Amino acid sequence: MNKSPGMTHFLLLTGIALIWGSQFYFNQIVIQSLPPLTLAAGRASIGALTLALLARCLPAHSRGVASQRRDQWGIYALLAFFEALLPMFLLSWGQTRVDSSIAAILMGTIPLFTVLLAPAFVGGKHWGAAAIISVICGFAGILILLGPNLHSGSQGNLLGDYAVLGAAASVSVSLLLFNRLDDTPAVIAVRNILAMAALPLLLLSLLLDQPWTLKLTLSAWGSLLVLGIFCAGIVYLMLARLIRLAGSVYTSLVNYLTPLVGVLIGAVVANETVAINAWLALLFIIAALLIQQRQPRFRHGDE
């Protein structure tokens, strides 16, 4: 493995940050036409199909070994719930109430929740000084971000904030559960997870939203395809490639870039007003992630 960062590493890192950072903007477009449940179902389904097609490009030996493992399906079911089903719905629902830039900042807390929850999932794992300081710093950023809504009593916005934070916490649980998977190729693992999440989401969408009665604009269709093909599909292949080339520590830099990209896209492309407290909250959260670099890295095969 070549761990000396080069142009290929930089381009992959930048591409991943742009894809994940843009998801909040595209979510904001689709949510104008689709209910959160149907948006989550469409994103998971398109992502699963994309990864199924990409998996066909793997060597036959890799596909065969992965298909023989039967004892991992319980973990896949948990991952489907915490990695895809719950966070996709909560993020979509939350973005009906908060701007994409705010959602990007709140989702930037995923590594902080991971550190906070690690002792409950990883045997022998305890909080060190760096972990405690990073969590305090990160959640100070959350309080700065939510402060105006807490002060004004804006219940609608607060519920949206809490939903996005719930999505971040859910993804952090999935990061820890990934340690219990075998060495199945990332593309196949995430394909299985998205497929298992897509089925209940599709059934609930058909029962509750009746999506055949909904009308999508051309921009909503395009944004939904981007969310499924790139944000829930191709990005995982890029991530797995970057981990193999540069290692997990270098790849973890995407945690700093993704919320920043989301905020910039919200401000520049979506013309959202990003208040001073939001920028300050972003700085606190990025500082928390920098402090967290002192912590041991968790293995996560696809993210």
Closest CA to 161 of 115, 117, 81, 104: 104
Sign, Cα dihedral of 224, 225, 228, 234: negative
* Domain-embedded: residue 43: yes
Residue-range definition of the domain harbouring residue 238: 7-292
pTM of the prediction?
A: 0.88
* Domain-embedded: residue 235: yes
* Domain-embedded: residue 300: no
* Domain-embedded: residue 244: yes
Summarised one tens digit per residue, pLDDT across range 62-121 is 555 555 456 688 899 999 999 999 999 999 999 999 999 999 999 999 988 988 888 887
Domain count, the chain: 1
* Domain-embedded: residue 301: no
Beta strands in 207-254 (DSSP E): none
- Residue 54 contacts residue 237 (beta carbons within 8 Å): yes
pLDDT at 132: 85
Q: What's the DSSP call for residue 82?
A: I
Question: Residue 266 is inside which H or E element, if any?
Answer: helix 254-268
* Domain-embedded: residue 167: yes
- Residue 158 contacts residue 142 (beta carbons within 8 Å): no
Closest CA to 280 of 100, 112, 143: 143
* Domain-embedded: residue 302: no
Please return the burial class of 4, using the count of CB atoms within 10 Å of its CB with bins 0-12, 13-18 and 19+.
Answer: exposed
Q: How many CB atoms lie within 10 A of CB 67?
A: 10
pLDDT at 240: 84
* Domain-embedded: residue 74: yes
Closest CA to 47 of 186, 255, 195, 260: 195
**Which residue numbers in the chain have pLDDT < 70?**
1-5, 58-71, 123-126, 150-156, 293-303
Helix, strand, or coil (residue 108): coil
Q: What is the mean pLDDT of the chain?
A: 87
CA distance 164 to 184: 30
pLDDT at 98: 93
